Amino acid sequence: MHELVVQGGTVVTPLSVTSADIGIDGGTIRAIGPGLAGERTIDAGGKLVFPGVIDAHTHMALPVAGTRSCDDFHTGTVAAACGGVTTIIDFTVGTQETTIPDEIERRLNEVAEAVVDVALHGEVIGWEPGAEEEFAEAVRRGVTSFKFYTAYEDSGRRTSPAVMKRAFEILADLGAGALVHCEDEGLIRSIADSLAPTELAEMATLAIARPDLCEGAAVTQVGRLAEETGCPTHIVHVSSALGLAAVREARSRGARLTAETCPQYLVLTAESYDRMDGHLFAASPALRTDADQRALWKGLRRQEIDLIATDHCPFTREQKTWRGSFTDLPYGLPGVETLLPLVYSEGVGKGLLHLPDVPRLLSEGPARVYGLYPRKGAIEVGADADLVVFDPDETWEIDPNELHMRTDFSPYEGWTVTGRVTTTLLRGDVIFADGEISAERGRGRFLFREVGVNRV
């Protein structure tokens, strides 16, 4: 007799789709099979059961362009739970003056409000060779992945290739890894210099100002650094066919490169910038073309892309008010709550993905890339009982007023999707069921990660 049994569902893993009960004790999966008995049961008849989704790229309460992304760790993780996300990986907030270990301590105070589990990436800003100990100390505090930018010189976030190479060598020695925002700074600058003021006043110019070439060039360079140093390196938010081709090429040379894309690059294009409210779609990298979308879906099927994450960075309409140029907008889109429904509906529903691709890309993939597998991202005996019961037949319309993210718009407003989360379990506790959130503030835990595990 188990404490809790999820009964009669269709259990979906990257390797199989089978009818089975899941027996849970002490927050852990203890049995998977037919005919399990429990003191309490959750009826999953007619439903799919996925491992809890891991959104490996979120920005809660992020200071940007004089404002802050509008979800904090409480509101953002309530939205996550409603969307079947049981783990997020967010970032420390780097500054030129502070050290990564100090930034971890500061961020943990905010993480304490979360209702789902949270791991952290260390954001690397202003780091210089000589401060090797910062990475070692961060690793001792359970942070094993570090975020670099090849762009954003003006805001001080860019790391030069020479400094990045040194950092990659240290991370490789520690058994840690890097994740990199790839857009070539020099190309962005040269294009920006050639734009007329009238072009800067057009939202649609964003896609021209930061084209796919910027991404492809930067991925190629970072791929070379990864190859040279042996550092496991993850390319975040790959948005273009050119970027993906550069990932493929670096991997074929033996670089330990993994890749991510996001729903916005799979289902939206730069045509959104032509809308009356096109400025709400400002994001970096910019939205691309139909051809890029097709290349990314193909990359997912061919396992050239390891995971889908959201880059959830929500702002309200007010925060995104148009002030005459796309360069004045805070960049970022909300998405943590719509990740699973969109990937299921637009991917599986439209024949672009197979059903087992969903847990591969949303759970096992991120868990393996970031050293959380198999405690997270798996329906296996011994894993945390993080589960999503999902009704594959329910059709509903995305309405930002009914979503739990604190923003008042959604890029997918008015879209009809098929498939909806009915129940979310975190370590064996129901945290969301039938439209109601039941997790108390602070229910989530900080996930301390070890070096040298997983990374595909």
The DSSP code sequence of 86-117 is EEEEEE----SSS-HHHHHHHHHHHHTT-SSE
- How far apart are the C-alpha atoms of 208 and 211, rounded to whole Å? 5
Per-residue interface string for the shown chain with Zn ion, residues 406-435, x marking contact by CB under 5 A = ------------------------------
Applying CB under 5 A, the span of 8-16, 306-314, 366-374, 398-406 interacting with Zn ion comes to: 306-314
The DSSP code sequence of 359-400 is HIIIIIHHHHHTT-TTTSS--STTSB--EEEEEEEEEEE--T
Applying CB under 5 A, the span of 63-71, 305-313, 343-351, 432-440 interacting with Zn ion comes to: 305-313
Could you say whether residue 55 binds Zn ion (CB under 5 A)?
no
Applying CB under 5 A, the span of 304-312, 321-329, 368-376, 404-412 interacting with Zn ion comes to: 304-312
If the CB atoms of residues 10 and 145 are measured against Zn ion, the closer one turns out to be: 145
The minimum distance between CB 181 and Zn ion, in angstroms, equals 7
If the CB atoms of residues 314 and 359 are measured against Zn ion, the closer one turns out to be: 314
The minimum distance between CB 423 and Zn ion, in angstroms, equals 29
Q: Is 119 in contact with 375 (CB distance < 8 Å)?
A: no
Applying CB under 5 A, the span of 126-134, 222-230, 282-290, 303-311 interacting with Zn ion comes to: 303-311
The minimum distance between CB 21 and Zn ion, in angstroms, equals 38
Applying CB under 5 A, the span of 161-169, 208-216, 248-256, 308-316 interacting with Zn ion comes to: 308-316
If the CB atoms of residues 306 and 311 are measured against Zn ion, the closer one turns out to be: 311
> End-to-end alpha-carbon separation of the chain, Å?
36
Q: Is 61 in contact with 405 (CB distance < 8 Å)?
A: no
If the CB atoms of residues 304 and 311 are measured against Zn ion, the closer one turns out to be: 311
The minimum distance between CB 151 and Zn ion, in angstroms, equals 12
The minimum distance between CB 284 and Zn ion, in angstroms, equals 8
Could you say whether residue 311 binds Zn ion (CB under 5 A)?
yes
The minimum distance between CB 247 and Zn ion, in angstroms, equals 17
If the CB atoms of residues 285 and 341 are measured against Zn ion, the closer one turns out to be: 285
Amino acid at site 395: T
Residue 190: CB partners within 8 Å, gap ≥ 6?
Answer: none
If the CB atoms of residues 55 and 212 are measured against Zn ion, the closer one turns out to be: 55
Q: Is 25 in contact with 3 (CB distance < 8 Å)?
A: yes
Q: Which residue is nearest to Zn ion (CB)?
A: 311
Q: Tokens 């370590």 sit at which residue?
A: 427
If the CB atoms of residues 311 and 346 are measured against Zn ion, the closer one turns out to be: 311
The minimum distance between CB 262 and Zn ion, in angstroms, equals 9
If the CB atoms of residues 264 and 410 are measured against Zn ion, the closer one turns out to be: 264
Could you say whether residue 123 binds Zn ion (CB under 5 A)?
no
If the CB atoms of residues 184 and 311 are measured against Zn ion, the closer one turns out to be: 311
The DSSP code sequence of 218-256 is HHHHHHHHHHHH---EEE----SHHHHHHHHHHHHTT--
- How far apart are the C-alpha atoms of 286 and 206, rounded to whole Å? 7
The DSSP code sequence of 148-171 is EESS-TTTT-B--HHHHHHHHHHH
If the CB atoms of residues 149 and 273 are measured against Zn ion, the closer one turns out to be: 149
Size of the site for Zn ion (CB under 5 A): 1
- How far apart are the C-alpha atoms of 132 and 135, rounded to whole Å? 6
- How far apart are the C-alpha atoms of 456 and 451, rounded to whole Å? 13
CA distances from 186 to 46, 183, 342 (A): 54, 9, 35
3-state SS class at 214:
helix
The minimum distance between CB 364 and Zn ion, in angstroms, equals 22
Amino acid at site 243: G
Residues at the site binding Zn ion, with contacts judged by CB under 5 A: 311
